[in-house]
Structure 1
């Protein structure tokens, strides 16, 4: 199946909009636009359930922004294998 760039962007936007309410529900601390974007990417790729149960979220909600940021590299595997840089946000 082939789709246009415009179709792909519309599909991505629709998908992303599904995750925004989940982030709003799960994260109780103020976020910068970059932090918000990183959590949308995280949730898009890993799901809201993983965000909900993560140490990343617990640290973020506790106000430990640096600690939360340090958690992102821990989520670099799929099926036990380290993913390459092209598969990250």
Structure 2
């Protein structure tokens, strides 16, 4: 599966676009739509086109990872929510999560209930993460 326009818009909405490298809430150097890598360093500036290209590259990695980890049948909206979740938190977080375990057991409601639990960065509850997790949960629960 690939992320739909709805999923991409959700990611863009919550990541925001920053063309100059910055440190996120836990000190990770970031640029574009939440892109992180060893290449992102202080002073890095990119264009809108480069931000879009990095987003596409990052999405491909997360789409592949979600496809590999999820064993239960899922809808496009559920896939999009899981890609957004993973894009923000990393595939390792999804892989070790109760959310994934419940989903793969076929407990879709239980899995949906796990999204709001992931609202912290650096041990602190962040309002932006709370809003993102609720939006992801709502998308996950929306009929395809």
Task: Compute the TM-score of the two structures, normalised by the length of structure 2.
Answer: 0.57
Q: Which runs of 5+ in 2 are unaligned?
A: 1-43, 137-144
1:59 to 99, 102, 124: 102
Q: How far did residue 2 of structure 1 move? A: 3.8
Tell me how far apart the structure 2 counterparts of residues 16 and 66 of structure 1 sit (CA, whole Å): 25
What is the RMSD of the two structures over their aligned residues, measured on CA atoms? 1.7
Q: CA deviation at 1:3?
A: 3.0
Structure 2 distance, partners of 1:5, 1:67, is 38
Paired with 1:9 and 1:84, the residues of 2 have a C-alpha distance of: 26
Deviations 1:5-36 (A, max 9, x none): 33212211111111112111110011111110
2-side partners of 1:9 and 1:76: how far apart? 26
When Rg is computed on C-alpha atoms for both structures, the one with the higher figure is: 2
TM-score normalised to structure 1 length:
0.88
Equivalent residue number for residue 26 of structure 1: 69
Distance 1:85 1:78 in 2: 10
Q: What is the aligned partner in structure 1 of residue 124 from structure 2?
A: 81
* Deviation beyond 4 Å, 4+ runs, structure 1: none
Gaps of at least 5 residues in structure 1 are none
User: Would you say how many aligned residue pairs link Structure 1 and Structure 2?
Assistant: 89
